[in-house]
Amino acid sequence: MPQTLTQAFSKNFLGSAPNWYKMAIVAFLIINPILMVTAGPFIAGWVLIGEFIFTLAMALKCYPLPAGGLLAVEAIIMGMTSPATVYHEALTNFPVILLLIFMVAGIYFMKDFLQYTFTRILTRVQSKILISLLFCFAGAFLSAFLDALTVTAVIIAVAFGFYNVYHRFASGKNMTCTHDLCSDETVKEQNRNDLMEFRAFLRNLMMHGAVGTALGGVCTLVGEPQNLLIGAEMGWHFVPFFLNVAHVSMPVLLAGLLTCVVVEKFHLFGYGAQLPGNIRSHLLETAIEMESKRGVQGKAKLVVQALVGIWLIVALALHLAEVGIIGLSVIVFLTAFNGFIDEHQLGPAFEEALPFTALLVVFFAIVGVIHDQHLFAPVMDFVLGLNGQVQLAAYYSANGLLSMISDNVFVATVYISETKMHFEQVLAAIPGVPDGVALMDRLTDPHMARADVIASLPADIQGKVTEVMTQLDHLAVAINTGTNIPSVATPNGQAAFLFLLTSALAPVIRLSYGRMVVLALPYTITMSITGLAATYFFSW
């Protein structure tokens, strides 16, 4: 029976997403205008937030941009926010957009050096505990300066390459013929047990590396997109950001590394799998062969990438330019000195970041709805009505719980913008402050020393303003750490986890959603509790 035009439209709508998902989105789009008219914009706005979080939580069924974008466009059409508000939010967060476009693309051209580093760790280190610790620490260190998705992509490439080599060897196949890595039908009987152990070994390393990207990502301005967003709102450069969050991020880093050692040593939560000796020997031979094929020209490329990596760290630490501009300089250096001169060689570098950049602007549309309809006013009034350390713990916990099921960039965007707006009102309420917004702009201007701004105020209000800004600093840290640390609980919370779960490697090493949650559980418990304790006890 020939397909009708209506059936074709239905099939094309959201592509291969499940029918129940498509029906849910259609229902959302129908319900929202009805609620807007009958229940009012406040109720309709909260329903919209729930619907949008649903699209984020269902990212494995459909990337959130198409469905979430439809909800955002509908909200603008209904007048819940305006295009001017969305543009204003995007303009305010332009440094984050530059980070995603240029820094992520820049790191793409460093993949050879990163792959070389992880390959040597995997093939030259004998101890499983030490390999795991090195993978976790390397993921943390690299993600503090580089994009976590790129670091994860490199680890995946290394693991997939070696799995491909051994699976073909175990199946009696060469590297030129077509071969299904997901099927074990052709694997020789004597190699099956080793293959099962190798899969478990790779699952362990992938999770250690992915958790490492979260451990390092929380520490610095460029570790995660929401970090730069928070830093931009607070006027923090690279070093001030690191110092402000260190009292939480460093204990969490230590807790994460200790967790890595403990789960491997005592074979907990599915960890402790060993690399069979015959596989290690085969992989080492393969790695040596790969290095010999690299030649002098290939080694020269590695040297250039290492030097540019040093430039990146120095430029960020000294804040020689905006983060995105530094990323652009990385692109220029690596393409010029490593011979990437054709346009088609540059295009793939931008593929990873641009979909999320578009999604980020959709986030801003939802944030615009929250601002314009004052949706978070009751929530913020309750949380900000708490005092001192209890308030910080509440902020950390609320951000953490939301980030487990939703995107942490969206959560951080909402909380930091709403919190800063509240503190503008707090400043305005201080006798002698004519304009709270203008004063906040000066206090969070990265080009002005806060101490100088406070010193320019009347003496009788300097102490109060200092106290207000200190609490805002602590809340910004609670937002940053809350959105970064507990979010390792699920693939929905961490982009690196989601990227790993949807990669070509996941099915071949039998890494499912449920298994990833179990493997992440010990890290979730130790890191989240450590972060909460540090937020509560070490903030002063």
d(CA 412, CA 56): 14
- Count the helix, strand and coil residues of the chain and give each as a percent rounded to the nearest 5: 80, 0, 20
CA nearest to 443, candidates 465, 422, 421:
465
d(CA 214, CA 216): 5
CB proximity list for 15: less than 8 A, separation 6 or greater: 62
Q: What is the pTM of this model?
A: 0.84
d(CA 477, CA 260): 25
Cα angle vertex 48, ends 47, 53, to 5°? Answer: 100
d(CA 159, CA 275): 13
Cα separation values, 341 from 84, 306, 347, Å? 39, 20, 11
Alpha-helical regions (H) of 266-322: 277-318
d(CA 410, CA 476): 15
CA nearest to 432, candidates 450, 458, 452:
458
CA nearest to 164, candidates 23, 13, 283, 280:
283
User: What is the distance in angstroms between the CA of the first residue and the CA of the last residue of the chain?
Assistant: 72
**What are residue 180's phi and psi, to 5 degrees?**
-95, 110
Classified as helix, coil or strand, 275 is coil
3-state secondary structure 8-45: HHHHHCCCCCCHHHHHHHHHHHHHHHHHHHHCCHHHHH
DSSP 487: G
Classified as helix, coil or strand, 236 is coil
At residue 263, the pLDDT reads 97
* Mean pLDDT by groups of 10 residues along the chain of 540 residues: 80 90 94 94 92 83 90 94 91 83 82 83 89 93 81 83 77 63 65 84 94 94 87 91 96 97 95 87 80 86 92 86 88 92 86 82 88 81 83 92 78 88 92 90 91 91 93 95 92 79 82 90 97 89
Residue 101 CB burial class (10 angstroms; 0-12, 13-18, ≥19): middle
Structure tokens at 454: 């406070």
DSSP 78: T
CA nearest to 60, candidates 522, 534, 507, 537:
507
d(CA 349, CA 8): 34
d(CA 232, CA 284): 45
CB proximity list for 160: less than 8 A, separation 6 or greater: 503, 504, 505, 508
CA nearest to 409, candidates 352, 356, 486:
356
At residue 392, the pLDDT reads 93
User: Do 416 and 231 contact (CB within 8 A), yes or no?
Assistant: no
Q: Across 395-501, where does the E strand assignment appear?
A: none
Count of residues in the chain: 540
CB proximity list for 422: less than 8 A, separation 6 or greater: 380, 384
CA nearest to 252, candidates 56, 527, 18:
527
Name the CA dihedral angle for 343, 321, 352, 165, rounded to a multiple of 10 degrees. Answer: 90
